[in-house]
Chains A and B, each alone.
Chain A
């Protein structure tokens, strides 16, 4: 007791008035969250006002060996913020600084207590937004979003929170502050951001974050489709994704949920239908118009009784408000509900929905379901009266049956709500024993005394685990679920070729590797190399790095223990994001054996422009207006690549521009107009312009020697990405002294066949330097060396995995 009194006195000295709450009322309030569980009472609630105070609180608690539970606004549904008896709550209620906003870098710095919705509200005027939009976004904090790796409807197209966090400021259990991530577009090394994001406060405490922002589409179409039959709605969602359209969101609510929402908000939904679906497209006006029309025919032929477009922004906002407040509205149906968060491979969604109907009948329970249908994530909510013991028992039994069924269909017990305490009993069945011991090992490395959010997320050692991992030996494509599983030794070329037969690919690297997978820019040899080297490639139409696309990984530790992590689903927060963390770690922690990736439709066309200055060689500064114009349009035309050959001040060879897209007036046609007008202003001639078929075009261009030889075959190159903290330096600050450059405008990356002579404003990072030892760049901020060493020791205790120059301190 003295220990606690002493701790409280010290905390008071650090936190001052309003920063420490020890009265019974406060302790009772902070013992609860949006889950319907309860553990014990905390001894105190701390509300630090800055990162320094967070650090001190953690240090004091660590010294007193008192556990710490982090909390945002307590909107979590899995009990992640619940308090074990006697812990200290570390609340982010006073950590709410927002900004500055770096428009050119599409990034904003936030403290963890900032509300999700405030971020997008702040950025929208600049045409940017923060993509993750959990239904609780009006009240949920960024700190909580990061801790839970939150999703939301719009993650279908844009990815979950992890894919939108660039850099984290955080403290370990003892209060030591660190800065992880350099804020670059491409970054290699064991990714601690991936481990921290989704770790439910068990590894570290986030004190600040640089978030990546995405451009707001200039036009939006939001459609409401109503279906007389639930199965038909679900099948239509699968058909929509399969049709090659890329909606930003596909949501379904079933009849029960619809009734509650209608009662709460009176939107005017028909309540006599079995399901309502919201589909949203975002992009430029003509494109969304065309997409919406295609979607309408898919939905109508799929059985939709009626498909209507939201008339204006107000109607659209009202639609989303209904969807996002749906769960609160369920409170009108019964006093309690248990919400599940299962996710299955998309192709299995119709089966799961049918099984849920059967479970509903078997247990005689009422279920209201909201689906993030596009990514196979379902939230069946079983509502019941907790004063009726029979109802309570059936509700929980039915919930378990649904979760087990989803897992048996290859899914996960949680897509975005987290494990918390709610899913401790089931999450172990998704982990093989080696993965479970690695997860516990990671926890022990970060928090040896086990003080951070104890009793959450990690199942007990004697729990029931999955069978030992079996490595897939062959390429396996799930066309319906849009995933591919490939053994690590398979050439990437073969995998992509197989996928392209049906117009799909793993969208990394534009330079399609030839048979045999010879080395070249973005021509990773094998699937294993792709994963371990985090090959970015000039992302023609790409969606980001391999880390954003990997779903599942089979790998072997340095001492030969085989493990499997992840699941073949688009969203999964059952355990630490080990596959993502190991992605790009250079193979010095584990050897990959196989991996599963998301698939995306291949862009249909590739626009090509070859330009030249009239006098044959231009002052490079003359090109600035052209580049600036391109950057100004980067929201509309992502994935632009330019190839320059320069000799210091003078531009030597032609300027080659490659842009993926559709051969339509509003897409590549519109870009052609922009380029033409800008080109004419600087007197630049166009030697060649055509629109090629995307698949095979790169090989064709290489044959015609349009692409420089080095771009497809040089063994060594350097990537440069602009540092986050720089102001919009502009193209002028590129390292022009290099003779040849390949640059991409979104994200802003340059490739050079030789080492850059100047890295002012730019950060050099070696992708691969075969046979040579290279110095790795020095990361900014304090590196958690002890943690990296601990992790290396965990995965490779005998130090068998090594690679010159890779991030092993």
Chain B
């Protein structure tokens, strides 16, 4: 199933692991279970026999370990020896195919397969969002699911009211839409991603406004589709390819602009890794904002904890820009949680495929975020936002979490 040349290359890559174990503490599945089979080094030990057998697992446990890998890539950042994540991707690909073929034992799913495979459609997400309020009366597993749906205030007034309440500020006026900071603004294409488009359209709109406020000329290609990450997560590689083609048409060609600004960290990682739009540079929203001159920011006297989305921190190696943006807000105190490098357990649809493990990982992350004593959580990925929101709800805690770009919008535009 895998060509000998590819196998040979993977074997060579595998030899770069010196088994030092420094990856363990950055792996969320290891941290949640204490089981080394669910650690990066453990998975690489199993990879040895997978490669020896030409990609066929002798033991179902071999593929299960990769199936349970969230794909956060924190281990890649931690690895001093430079073991590439492509090894894990190979393992995850085998596991996803095996799961799709029904030959991989796994936890019960929290949503049926037919739905799982359609979560990259904004329309489906809009329906789920509409149904979510009804889930209060549903069985606990469904209720938990509904609580984990990424949400953000749709109306600007609601966002402003939330932040005004947290900062103890007075009345909330309308958004001020300051004059663009630059006249010769850069032309950007805007990639909002299916979760933002379906579940958090207000956030997408505000980010586009913010870019305009910085003088950008923003184009939002209507023909854009999902980035393809979710299709890959669920082993639908032909769907992924189709989506890539669709986006290439929507963003490429003559319509190509210097920047493609991606709203969600997960989409950005997939696009940067898999796509090439010729001259256009793919930028996470925080990277783009970091390069622009922002409107004068208002003071936001809040203790804010930043949850670094793995797909930004590790997947795209974008670390400084989001923190710099937050530090740039007057009055804001930025804090980081204990074990900040650990994934929250979202991983696209991973949390739906591994509900129990994801709940435990989410619980630990929520605990760490709460322990900082922050008044607000911000993050850059809708998946993380939903997962943390659900985990906080499961603990019975009320700590607001909003997209980082919404906070910047609030500071700059109100």
Tell me which of B16, B17, B22, B61 contacts A26 (CB under 8 A).
Answer: B61
Which residues does chain B contribute within 8 Å of A75, judged by CB atoms?
Answer: 20-22
A331 neighbours in B (Cβ, 8 Å): 16-18, 20, 80-83
Closest B residue to A18 by beta carbon equals B33
Smallest CB-CB separation from B62: which chain A residue? A25
Residues of A within 8 A of B23 (CB): 139
B34 touches A113 (CB 8 A): yes
Is there an interface contact between B64 and A25, defined as CB atoms closer than 8 Å?
A: yes
Contact yes or no, B34 A327, CB < 8 A: no
Chain A CB within 10 Å, residue with most, of B42, B64, B80: B80
On whether the beta carbons of B80 and A73 are closer than 8 Å, the reply is no
Interface centre among A21, A34, A328 (most CB of B within 10 A): A328
Interface flag for A354 (CB, 8 Å): no
Task: Indicate which residue in B20, B45, B58 contacts A136 across the interface (CB closer than 8 Å).
Answer: B20
A93 touches B20 (CB 8 A): no
Query: A552 to nearest B CB, angstroms?
Result: 33
**Cβ–Cβ < 8 Å partners of A74 in chain B:** 19, 21, 36, 41
B49 in the interface, Cβ–Cβ < 8 Å? Answer: yes
The CA of A249 and the CA of B41, in the complex, are separated in Å by 30
CB-CB under 8 A from B59, the residues of chain A are 23-25
Known: A93-B34, A332-B81. A24 touches B15 (CB 8 A): no
Q: Is A393 in the interface zone, CB < 8 Å from B?
A: no
A331 to B35, CA, bound (A): 25
Q: Which of these, A28, A34, A332, contacts B20 with CB under 8 Å?
A: A34
Q: How far is the CB of A654 from chain B (nearest CB, A)?
A: 48
The residue of chain A having its C-beta at the shortest distance from the C-beta of B33 within the complex is A18
Interface residue ranges, B against A (CB under 8 Å): 15-25, 30, 33-37, 41-42, 45-46, 49, 58-59, 61-62, 64-65, 78-83, 338
Smallest beta-carbon distance A328→chain B, Å = 3
Is A329 touching B81 in the complex (CB atoms < 8 A)? yes
Q: Are B21 and A139 in contact (CB under 8 A)?
A: yes
Report chain A residues within 8 Å CB of B18.
Answer: 34, 327-328, 330-331, 336-337
25 interchain pairs, CB-CB under 8 A: A18-B35, A23-B61, A24-B59, A24-B61, A25-B37, A25-B59, A25-B62, A25-B65, A29-B46, A32-B45, A34-B21, A93-B30, A94-B34, A138-B78, A139-B23, A264-B80, A327-B80, A328-B18, A328-B22, A328-B79, A331-B20, A331-B83, A332-B16, A335-B15, A336-B18
- Contacts A28-B45, A93-B35, A94-B34 hold; do A115 and B25 have CB atoms under 8 A apart? yes
Given contacts A24-B59, A73-B24, contact A29 B34 (CB under 8 A): no
Chain B residues near A330: list those with CB within 8 A.
18, 81
Q: Is A91 an interface residue (CB 8 A)?
A: yes
Q: How far is the CA of A91 from the CA of B81 in the complex (A)?
A: 25
B19 and A138: CB pair below 8 A? Answer: no
Contact B35 A332 (CB under 8 A): no
> Residues of A contacting B25 with CB < 8 Å?
73, 115, 117, 138-139
Interchain CB contact under 8 A, A24 and B22: no
* Alpha-carbon separation in the docked complex, A28 to B190 (Å): 47
Say whether A30 faces chain B, with CB atoms less than 8 Å apart.
Answer: yes
Q: How far does the alpha carbon of A329 sit from the alpha carbon of B19 in the complex, in Å? A: 11
Chain B residue nearest to A383 in the complex (CB): B18
Residues of A within 8 A of B22 (CB): 75, 136, 138-139, 325, 328
Give the distance to chain A from B91, nearest Cβ to Cβ, in Å.
12
Query: Per a CB cutoff under 8 Å, which of A21, A96, A140, A327 touches B35?
Result: A21
Cross-chain contact of A24 among B33, B58, B80 (Cβ < 8 A): B58
Per a CB cutoff under 8 Å, which of A18, A36, A93 touches B36?
Answer: A93
Is the CB–CB distance between B338 and A121 below 8 Å? Answer: yes
A136–B80 touching, CB < 8 Å? no
Q: How far is the CB of A253 from chain B (nearest CB, A)?
A: 13
Identify the closest chain B residue to A261 (Cβ). Answer: B80
Q: Which residues of A contact B81 (CB under 8 A)?
A: 264, 328-332
Tell me whether B61 and A25 are in contact (CB under 8 A): yes
With A25-B65, A47-B34 as contacts: A33 and B19 at CB distance below 8 Å: yes
A335 to B18, CA, bound (A): 7
Tell me which residues across on chain B come within 8 A of A335, comparing CB atoms.
15-16
CB distance from B334 to the nearest CB of A (A): 15
Partner of A29, one of B20, B36, B64: B36
Q: List A residues 22-69 near B (Cβ within 8 Å).
A: 23-26, 28-30, 32-34, 36, 47
Nearest neighbor of A29 in chain B, beta-carbon distance? B42
Contacts known (A121-B338, A264-B82, A331-B81); A29 close to B21, Cβ less than 8 A = no
Interface centre among A75, A113, A326, A337 (most CB of B within 10 A): A75
Give the residues in chain A near B338, CB-CB below 8 Å: 121
Chain A residue, CB-CB nearest to B19: A34
Taking A25-B65, A139-B20, A330-B18 as known contacts, 20 extra A-B pairs with beta carbons closer than 8 A to each other, sorted by chain A number, are A18-B33, A24-B58, A25-B37, A25-B46, A34-B18, A34-B19, A34-B21, A74-B19, A93-B30, A136-B20, A136-B21, A264-B80, A264-B81, A265-B80, A328-B18, A331-B16, A331-B20, A331-B82, A332-B82, A337-B18
On whether the beta carbons of B33 and A328 are closer than 8 Å, the reply is no
- A36–B19 CB distance below 8 A: yes
Residues of A within 8 A of B80 (CB): 264-265, 325-329, 331
- Cβ of A337: which chain B residues have Cβ within 8 Å of it? 18
Chain B contacts for A140, CB-based, 8 A = 21
